[in-house]
Amino acid sequence: MRNDASEERMGLFLDYENLAIGARQSLGLKRFDFGPIARAMAERGRVVYRRAYADWSTFDDDRRDLVRHQVELIDIPQRMGASRKNSADIKMVVDALELAFEREYVTTIVLCTGDSDFTPLVQKLRELDRRVIGIGVRDSTSKLLPPACDEFLFYDRLEGVEARRESSDQVGGDPAVAENPSLDELVISTLAGMQSSQEDVRASRLKRAMLRIDPTFTESDHGFRGFTELLRHLADRRVVELSGSKRDPEVDLVTGEGPAQAAFDLLAAVVADTAGKKGAAMSGLKTELRRRDSGFSERALGYGGFLQFCR
């Protein structure tokens, strides 16, 4: 049986010291579990290459779990006067570039690390037309690394990770039923930009575009098991409209009644109230709109600016 040509084929490189120590210190885990990473990658495609880099004499108890997941262990023993961490990083960079150059069928490189030193590697891999997925522990991941990747997953958020959660994570109820203005704005502004090309926008295509804008985006952060479930929730709130296939529906901006119509009605009311005056400047109209509705944002409604919204 031939492999599906559209299936992602991935090479995975694990900076074990960075990830394991980060998970233990930030999440309070006694033992780093590779299982959640393996499951997350299996959902995205076929992993054909797995390597983990460390001085394994330091992580002797962890070796069995990795071997059970068919991960090749690359031993970087500590030498007198040498930096073990730098040696592991260099070996990992060389192997990742070698795979990209020699294995054309590998479409995606997965880098499990939060170290910003790997940012130039990410940039080079993308120049070589490889998709790059990063995985790191949120508190120990450099802010420079996630924006460089095509997609970045936080280990803490992967399904199956039993981490010590801060009490603040439990406050505010179920995120799946709460309104999230920043999420609404990301979906609507991305969708509006894509619809300017006059092409139908499917859910899968919309998510890829959102990941290009924010590589750390994941629907699970908002309490949803899948992106389609998130879109159905937004459709119930009249943020977007869905049609067609249930698995990969077509997504549209809401027409008629909805947040945009309410904003237009408010604009009409503001204009009517100022009609008897000398005329209101655009800045004055926007100021009055925000005075009456503090949550007003033309960008959240899919418009590039206030003038475009008024037209």
The more confident residue out of 94 and 257 is 94
pLDDT digits (tens, 9 = 90+) for 159-218: 888 654 443 344 444 544 456 777 888 888 888 777 766 678 899 889 988 888 888 888
Record: fold of 175-253: Arc Repressor Mutant, subunit A (1.10.10)
Q: Cite the DSSP H helix spans in the chain.
A: 16-27, 35-44, 63-68, 84-102, 119-127, 145-148, 181-195, 203-213, 227-236, 259-273, 282-292, 306-310
Tokens of 31: 């033992």
CB 71 within 8 A of CB 34: yes
Domain locations in the chain as residue ranges: 8-164, 175-253, 259-310
Q: Whole-angstrom Cα distance, residue 194 to residue 207? A: 11
Closest to 6 measured CA to CA, from 289, 204, 298: 204
Q: What percent of the chain stands above pLDDT 90?
A: 35
CB 108 within 8 A of CB 130: yes
Q: Pick 8-164's CATH classification: 3.30.300.130, 3.65.10.10, 3.40.190.10, 3.40.50.1010.
A: 3.40.50.1010
Element (H, E) at 152: strand 151-154
3-class secondary-structure state, position 176: helix
pLDDT number for residue 263: 65
Beta pairing partners, 78? none
CB 253 within 8 A of CB 303: no
| Mean confidence (pLDDT) of the chain | 81
Tokens of 81: 């006067």
Tokens of 180: 């999230």
Beta pairing partners, 75? 54
pLDDT number for residue 168: 36
Q: How confident is the model at residue 245 (pLDDT cuts 50, 70, 90)?
A: confident
Evaluated on CA atoms 150, 155, 157, 161, the torsion sign reads positive
Q: Whole-angstrom Cα distance, residue 69 to residue 42? A: 12
Average pLDDT value for residue range 72-95: 81
**In b/e form, how buried is each residue of 186-202, taking b as 16+ CB within 10 angstroms?**
bbbbbbbebeeeeeebb
Burial label for 104, CB within 10 Å (0-12, 13-18, 19+), is exposed
pLDDT number for residue 84: 58
